């Protein structure tokens, strides 16, 4: 009997980036699956890293999710056991909600002010 392989850390990371971007855009797994000609179960497997995403499928995902292919690898930890701060943030419901809201803010100056506000709040809460 063959033992089930556990997903590789890079596959899990890329899957989390797919999930996070899908969440920011407000897409369901079913909607994304339909855009790609897949079942929602296949999207689930991609997001969990259980199934690897081929180069052509990654290209399709980048198109549908409106990001460059590099997006899926940004912040990829060098060590298998480490997690990035952005990944932890986007794994939380609050992180996704903030990312969605921030994406709707127009104008660089206002975005910059929001970042400064959050940084000030973080400094104040650490005291």
Q: How far apart are CA 36 and CA 43, in angstroms?
A: 9
Tell me the domain boundaries of the chain: 1-91, 93-127
Q: State which CATH number among 1.10.540.10, 1.10.260.40, 1.20.1080.10, 1.20.140.10 fits the domain covering 1-91.
A: 1.10.260.40
How distant, in Å, are the alpha carbons of 39, 75, 86, 123 from that of 32? 9, 23, 22, 38
Sign of the four-CA dihedral 47, 14, 114, 103: negative
Q: What is the pLDDT along the chain (127 residues), one digit of tens a residue?
A: 556 678 889 999 999 999 999 999 999 999 999 999 999 999 999 999 999 999 999 999 999 999 999 999 988 876 444 456 777 777 788 888 888 899 899 999 999 999 999 989 988 887 6
Model confidence, pTM: 0.66
């Amino acid at each position: 009997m063959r033992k089930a392989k556990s997903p590789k850390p890079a596959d899990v990371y890329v899957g989390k980036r797919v999930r996070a971007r899908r969440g920011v855009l407000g897409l369901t797994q079913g909607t994304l699956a339909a855009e790609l000609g897949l079942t929602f179960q296949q999207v689930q497997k991609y997001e969990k890293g259980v199934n690897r995403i081929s180069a052509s499928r990654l290209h399709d995902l980048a198109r549908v999710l409106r990001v460059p292919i590099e997006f899926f690898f940004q912040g990829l930890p060098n060590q298998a056991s480490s997690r990035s701060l952005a990944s932890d943030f986007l794994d939380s419901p609050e992180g996704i909600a903030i990312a969605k809201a921030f994406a709707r803010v127009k104008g660089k100056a206002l975005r910059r002010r929001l970042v400064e506000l959050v940084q000030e709040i973080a400094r104040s809460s650490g005291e």
